Amino acid sequence: MANESIPYKIYLSEEELPQTWYNVRADMKVKPAPLLNPGTGEPMGFEDLRPVFCDELIRQELDNDTREIPIPQEIRNFYKMYRPSPLIRAYCLEEKLKTPAKIYYKFEGNNTSGSHKLNSAIAQAYYAKQQGLKGVTTETGAGQWGTALSMACSYLGLDCKVFMVKCSYEQKPFRREVMRTYGASVTPSPSDQTRIGQKILSDHPGTTGSLGCAISEAVEVATSHPGYRYVLGSVLNQVLLHQSVIGVETKTALDKYGIVPDIIIGCAGGGSNLGGLISPFMGQKLRGEQDYRIIAVEPASCPSFTRGRFAYDFCDTGMVCPLSKMYTLGSGFIPSPSHAGGLRYHGMSAILSQLYHDGYMEAVSVEQTKVFEAAEQFARVEGILPAPESSHAIRVAIDEALKCKETGEEKTIVFGLTGTGYFDMVAYEKFHNGEMHDSIPTDAELLESFSHLPAVPGQSK
Amino acid sequence: MANESIPYKIYLSEEELPQTWYNVRADMKVKPAPLLNPGTGEPMGFEDLRPVFCDELIRQELDNDTREIPIPQEIRNFYKMYRPSPLIRAYCLEEKLKTPAKIYYKFEGNNTSGSHKLNSAIAQAYYAKQQGLKGVTTETGAGQWGTALSMACSYLGLDCKVFMVKCSYEQKPFRREVMRTYGASVTPSPSDQTRIGQKILSDHPGTTGSLGCAISEAVEVATSHPGYRYVLGSVLNQVLLHQSVIGVETKTALDKYGIVPDIIIGCAGGGSNLGGLISPFMGQKLRGEQDYRIIAVEPASCPSFTRGRFAYDFCDTGMVCPLSKMYTLGSGFIPSPSHAGGLRYHGMSAILSQLYHDGYMEAVSVEQTKVFEAAEQFARVEGILPAPESSHAIRVAIDEALKCKETGEEKTIVFGLTGTGYFDMVAYEKFHNGEMHDSIPTDAELLESFSHLPAVPGQSK
């Protein structure tokens, strides 16, 4: 281990913190499809989105052309509390696997939110504050986004209302207290506090909730309370823009040591981490400067890329949000309650969906028992207790490293370690006790879900 | 904030990771008193301690003279997984307090054990492995030490048996799963698995346990299982030696920017963090090179320094361990179950006890409600969710910074942020719900406890 000249952890200095976010859409020949108004089927413009989102964030959402967008100084100051994040050489994992592959991971868990979500939370809260708003509403699944947003709002003095997917609320009781520590209000979703929540509870009694439901509730509250807007932790173009800070730092760190990755791997729920991590590398690929294998990893129980349809669909279960063209399992799809590993969203970032459709990246789905095996193996040698979400990427990184062991290839693998698993011990406990099962939707279940895709001109069901 | 030339986080490079631990005893004119055999009242030598501790660790325990002790390369490699740890300038806290004071904290929570305990865990596990042992036993209170030791043992392939103070076991159910993730066995203490545990359960039915009880159980198991030794996460001289890596890094980072602290603050339970943090600064003070105010902060519900006796006492409740001369509340003292803030040990490091007795440092005790107020205030501006233990130091750092605000003095304050509070959300929840109370022992309770101090020649009760 000690005979390598590359350190265990590559830290950039605060001066090397990126000055700009990188907007991958500028380099895409085929742009992601525009959001559509669910009532008219027309593309949604600035004014259409204003009741829901902050003005500056809408500009970022709609901007397919500007390659570099400056990061405001106030956001950079906040970033300095926990960034640049380390790029870590997994020497101990390599040794354990006895692989000739060189494995690196970009670790985004070294902040109290425990994940990369803080990168976009502070940006969205900042623009809300700039606009003179009172507060923001949002949904959270595993609780990472809600925690991140409550931290950012607390820092800026904004009110923060979080709707938390009910099964996570129950599985992760302590997440609520972290959010309360940061002054947020947290409501399990579906709740009886919104019309849409009441309807979902009445149509599906006993539902454990989904991100789609929680989004509908948060949007309803934002649009019915003056001075509030809705913010979202993934899926949107603006979120991938903010998360590009992960990829830009990763590339800067690799460039410093002359390292060129062969394979880049990220877990994918809504796509925020994966999109952020790969963005500058994808930019090179789109411009024809460099080729990389880019792999999205998703749970077998929520397989948007690998078994979904590339189609316009609602972003939320309540069908109040715009339509987005994306890989989707249908906005009514809810993963089995036995699924513990996060990444529960029915759809996928429009940017990543277009890139996947156009052949710029691969996708694989993995079963959660295999994911937790990889998580435990990683924890024991690398020291970090990974979040289940992040462990999807670990699973595939290990699989690729083991392929290198067979072939003898010294490939360089980079993956995103998006967060820590401190609040996922109920899931780890199930795994330790042999009580974790894989639950994969049947073809019939998916067909039923696809049958509810909205009618959009030119789109067949 | 941005107009300061000192970065938010001072990171040393891996090359700057200390090559040696610093042994403050070498610079003490009055050495800490030796451990005594509880049967004979005689000082314990190498052979007396061999049934309990690893050989090399006994040598370190007894070595009052060697100033610099090399850190073995294997331990340095492990340290590189999470060290050097950052020294952080609390710009945001300073701004919030509107204090002219400059506040720095050494953050030891950026590893999966969530605290500084890993620094000694890997050292102790390493020497056990070197000696060819099968495994180690230990106790854990808040669970930080047990987690740290299970990580170190997992890394080196040693068996790890942890006795966890029953009230923490119940308050922190997820800690058990983290330890299991790292392959350790975890037993709530007192248990019926040991003779001493059976006796304590029979004498004190319904007891919530104490570190002192758990130590007795772990020692009994170590001494009755061939190939096992006992390891301890605090109090001992060897532990303070390993933890000196905190202070050496802190001093190196400060020196780089020409910063000389006025006040150094650490929380104190058994003394491992405080002793480690202050060691090189105390060395300068002992050698007359530089003066600093050094403040130990302890809970008002377990006030060893501020209300204890400086006397020989048992290190454990079961009275099977050697006698140590220290500030103690009596080995039978158990803090109120309403005490949530960690630092529950009845005694204190012999080194720190001697230094406190000789006037080289101060001590204050603080009530836990005030500690959690400071914790929440800190979390909201600095982003990090602090452990209750660490928040004792935050409380006093804030108090000192507010004094500077009154006087206008630009003092430089350094404190140890020993860990994160992810597994302390039950306590945070009590605080949020207004259900947290302070529970301070009465003079009569302490007098009763002191009456059980052992009879040692020259020591009055």
| Measured distance CA(A221)–CA(A190) in Å, rounded | 13
How much of chain A is in helix, strand and coil states, percent to nearest 5? 40, 15, 40
Look at residue A205 and tell me if it is in a domain: yes
Would you call B173 and A382 a contact, using CB atoms and an 8 Å cutoff?
Answer: no
Query: Residues of B with CB below 8 A from A385's CB?
Result: 112, 178, 181
CB distance A326 to A348 below 8 Å: yes
- How far lies A97's CA from each of A100, A374, A377, B416, in Å? 9, 12, 10, 37
Shared-domain flag, residues B202 and B334: no
- With residue B168 as reference, give the H or E element that holds it: helix B166-171
Q: Any chain A CB within 8 A of the CB of B373?
A: no
Q: Nearest chain A residue to B424 by CA: give it.
A: A174
Which B positions 161-220 lie with beta carbon below 8 A of chain A?
173-174, 177-178, 180-183
The burial class, CB within 10 Å (0-12 / 13-18 / 19+), for A5 is: exposed
- Measured at the CA of B47, the angle between CA B42 and CA B50, to 5 degrees, comes to 115
Residue of B112, B150, B431 to mutate, interface with A, max A Cβ within 10 Å:
B112
**Residue A460 — pLDDT band, cuts 50, 70, 90?**
low
Residue numbers in A near B428 (CB within 8 A): 177-178, 180-181
CA–CA separation, B453 and B461 (whole Å): 7
Chain B contact set for A155 (CB, 8 A):
92, 380-381, 383
Residues B368 and B312 in one domain: yes
Contact A155 B92 (CB under 8 A): yes
Please tell me the predicted confidence (pLDDT) of residue A178: 93
- Which among B335, B368, B330, B362 has a CA at the least distance from the CA of B348? B330
Min Cα–Cα distance to chain A from B149, Å: 12
User: How close A263 comes to chain B (CA, Å)?
Assistant: 23
| The pLDDT of residue B129 | 98
pLDDT reading at A459 higher than 80: no
Q: Is residue A202 part of a domain?
A: yes
**One-letter-per-residue 3-state SS of B236-277:** CHHHHHHHHHHHHHHHHHHHHCCCCCCEEEEECCCCHHHHHH
Separation between Cα atoms, residue B132 and residue B129, nearest integer Å = 5
Q: Which ranges constitute the DSSP H helices of A165-323?
A: 166-171, 173-181, 195-203, 211-224, 237-256, 272-286, 304-307
CA B330 to each of CA B138, B323, B338: distance values in angstroms, whole numbers, following the listed order: 21, 12, 20
Secondary structure class of A267 (helix, strand, coil): strand
Cβ pair A242, A125 in contact under 8 A: no
Distance CA B294, CA B417 (A): 15
With an 8 Å Cβ cutoff, is B77 touching chain A? Answer: yes
Calculate ∠ Cα B370-B374-B378, nearest 5°.
170
User: For residue A28, is it left (φ>0), alpha (ψ between -120 and 50) or beta?
Assistant: beta
- Give the residue-averaged pLDDT of A197-209: 91
Q: Which residue type is seen at B142?
A: A
Domain boundary among A176, A207, A230: A230
Specify the pLDDT at position B321: 84
Do B224 and B136 belong together in one domain? yes
Asked if A182 and B154 come within 8 Å (Cβ–Cβ), the reply is: no
Burial class from Cβ neighbours inside 10 Å (0-12, 13-18, 19+) for residue A383 reads buried
CB distance A155–B380 less than 8 Å?
yes
B319 in the Ramachandran plot: left (φ > 0), alpha (ψ -120 to 50) or beta? Answer: left
Residue A403 amino acid letter: K
Write the residue in A114, A174, A381 that is nearest to B425 by C-beta.
Answer: A174
The answer as to whether B236 is a domain residue is: no
For CA atoms A176, A179, A185, A187, the dihedral sign is negative
Candidates B6, B12, B16, B81, partner chain A, best to mutate (most A CBs within 10 A): B81
Q: Confidence class of residue A2 from pLDDT cuts 50, 70 and 90? A: very low
Query: Can you give A332-369 as a three-state secondary structure string?
Result: CCCCCCCCCCCCCCCCCCHHHHHHHHCCCCEEEEECHH
Q: Are A261 and A293 in contact (CB under 8 A)?
A: no
Range of the domain at B172: 20-25+33-69+116-230
**Can you give the pLDDT at residue B403?**
98
Can you give the pLDDT at residue A255?
Answer: 97
Given a cut of 90, is residue A249 above it in pLDDT?
yes
Same-domain check for residues A177 and A250: no
Q: B3 — contact with chain A (CB < 8 Å)?
A: no
Residues B216 and B124 in one domain: yes
Task: Examine the domain organization and report whether A430 and A353 are in the same domain.
Answer: yes
* Residue B1 domain flag: no
Same domain, B167 and B193: yes
Q: What 3-state class would DSSP assign to B455? A: coil
Q: What is the pLDDT of residues B26-70, one digit of tens each?
A: 999 999 999 999 889 999 999 999 999 999 999 999 999 999 999
Picking from A13, A92, A428, the nearest residue to B181 by CB comes out as: A428
pLDDT of B205 > 60? The answer is yes
Nearest to A276 by CA among A123, A65, A128: A123
What is the structure's pLDDT at B461?
53
Check whether B142 has a pLDDT greater than 80: no
Which of residues A173, A207, A230 is at a domain's end? A230
Q: What is d(CA B300, CA B335) in angstroms, rounded to the nearest whole number?
A: 10
Indicate the average pLDDT of chain A.
94
**pLDDT value at residue A3:** 41
Residues B37-46: contacts with CB under 8 Å, at least 24 apart: B37/B322, B37/B323, B38/B314, B38/B319, B38/B320, B38/B321, B38/B322, B38/B323, B38/B454, B41/B323, B41/B456, B41/B457, B44/B322
CA distance to partner chain B, nearest, from residue A261 (Å): 22
Q: Tell me the ipTM for this assembly.
A: 0.85
Nearest residue of chain A to residue B79 (CA atoms): A8
**Chain A neighbors of B388, CB-CB under 8 A:** none
Does B376 touch chain A if contact means CB atoms closer than 8 Å? Answer: yes
pLDDT given for residue A318 in this prediction? 78
Share above pLDDT 90 across residues of chain A, in percent, rounded to a whole number: 80
pLDDT at site A1? 40
Total domains, chain B: 2
d(CA A203, CA A184): 29
Among the partner-chain residues B1, B155, B180, the one whose CB lies closest to the CB of A381 is: B155
Which residues on A lie below 8 Å from B114 (Cβ)?
422
- A383 chain-B contacts, CB cut-off 8 A: 81-82, 111-112, 151, 155
Rounded Cα distance, B158 and B151, in Å: 10
Task: Please check whether residue B432 touches A, CB under 8 A.
Answer: yes
pTM of the model: 0.91
Mean pLDDT of chain B: 94
> Is B134 strand, coil or helix?
coil
Predicted confidence (pLDDT) per residue in B6-37, tens digit:
888 898 998 999 999 999 999 999 999 999 99
Over residues A272-281, the mean pLDDT reads 98
Alpha-carbon gap, residue B352 to A170, rounded angstroms: 44
Question: Does A432 contact B73 at a Cβ distance shorter than 8 Å?
Answer: no
- Summarised one tens digit per residue, pLDDT across range A300-345 is 999 999 999 999 999 887 787 889 999 999 998 988 878 877 788 8
Position A37 in a domain: yes
Residue from B425, B429, B431, B433 to probe the interface with A (highest A Cβ count within 10 Å) = B425
pLDDT recorded at residue B1: 40
Q: Does A106 share its domain with A127?
A: no
Query: A110 CB near a chain B CB, below 8 Å?
Result: yes
How far apart are the C-alpha atoms of A25 and A64, rounded to whole Å?
5
A360 and A310 in one domain?
yes
Nearest chain A alpha carbon to B420: A112
B461 touches chain A (CB under 8 A): no
Best to test chain A binding among B380, B424, B426 (most A CBs inside 10 Å): B380
- A152, part of any domain: yes
What is the nearest CA distance from A31 to chain B, expressed in angstroms?
37
pLDDT single digits (tens) B92-127: 999 999 999 999 999 999 888 999 999 999 999 999
Residue at B435 is within a domain: yes
Q: Residue B441 phi/psi, 5° resolution?
A: -60, 145
Residue A269 in domain? yes
Look at strands B9-10 and A159-165 and give their pairing: unpaired
CB pairs under 8 A between A and B: 114
Q: Smallest Cβ distance to B422: which of A155, A423, A429? A: A423
On the question of pLDDT at B78 being above 60, the answer is yes
| CATH number of A147's domain | 3.40.50.1100
Q: What is the Cα–Cα distance from A76 to A277, expressed in whole angstroms? A: 18
Taking CB atoms and an 8 Å cutoff, what residues of chain A touch B81?
8, 92, 382-383
Cα B365 to Cα B303: distance, rounded to the nearest angstrom: 6
pLDDT in tens, B277-313: 999 999 999 999 999 999 999 999 999 999 999 999 9
Statement to judge: residues B272 and B376 lie in one domain: yes
Of all residues in chain A, the one with the smallest CA distance to B112 is A384
Q: Last residue of some domain: A183, A198, A230?
A: A230
Contact A182 B379 (CB under 8 A): yes
Q: Which of A380, A390, A420, A426 to mutate to test binding with chain B, by most B CBs within 10 Å of its CB?
A: A380
Residues A100 and A121 in one domain: no
- Collapsing DSSP to helix, strand or coil, B327 comes out as strand
The verdict on B220 and B292 lying in the same domain is no
How many other C-beta atoms are found inside a 10 Å radius of the C-beta of residue A272?
A: 29
